[in-house]
Amino acid sequence: MPPVANIHHGQAGPSTFDKLKMGAMMGGTVGCILGFMYGTINIFRYGAGTNGVMRTLGQYMAGSGATFGFFMGVGSVIRTDVADPEIREMYLQAQRRPIIWRSHQAWRRD
């Protein structure tokens, strides 16, 4: 699914929460697939144990999907660009070089 474009012609782009959900869904899907592959290899190598094949494979998939989904969700929120011009202006003011004023006449060169 392609990302939604930020169009400012009366339409609003996805919110931060929407981006969190999308990142968590993508990460969860990828994590489940990787957990399926890793779990299958481990079950073939070491056996399923007392839980059985399906439960062991499900644990691998759920653990991997939850972990990867969490980090993808957090990463997509961190990467979200803030479009508010006031916040951008405050950031630029905080990053600029300080201005030093000479207040006393003895300090001025004329």
Q: Which of 10, 64, 13 is nearest to 36 (CA)?
A: 64
Q: What is the pLDDT of residue 14?
A: 81
Of the chain, the end-to-end C-alpha distance in Å amounts to: 66
Q: Which is more confident, 100 or 86?
A: 86
pLDDT in tens, 5-38: 666 565 667 888 999 999 999 999 999 999 999 9
Q: Which is more confident, 46 or 105?
A: 46
Global pTM reads 0.64
Measured CA to CA, the distance from residue 24 to residue 35 in angstroms comes to 16
Mean pLDDT value across the chain: 84
Confidence of residue 63 (pLDDT cuts 50, 70, 90): very high
Residues 17 and 51 sit within 8 Å (Cβ to Cβ): no
Please report, as a single letter, which amino acid is at residue 31: G
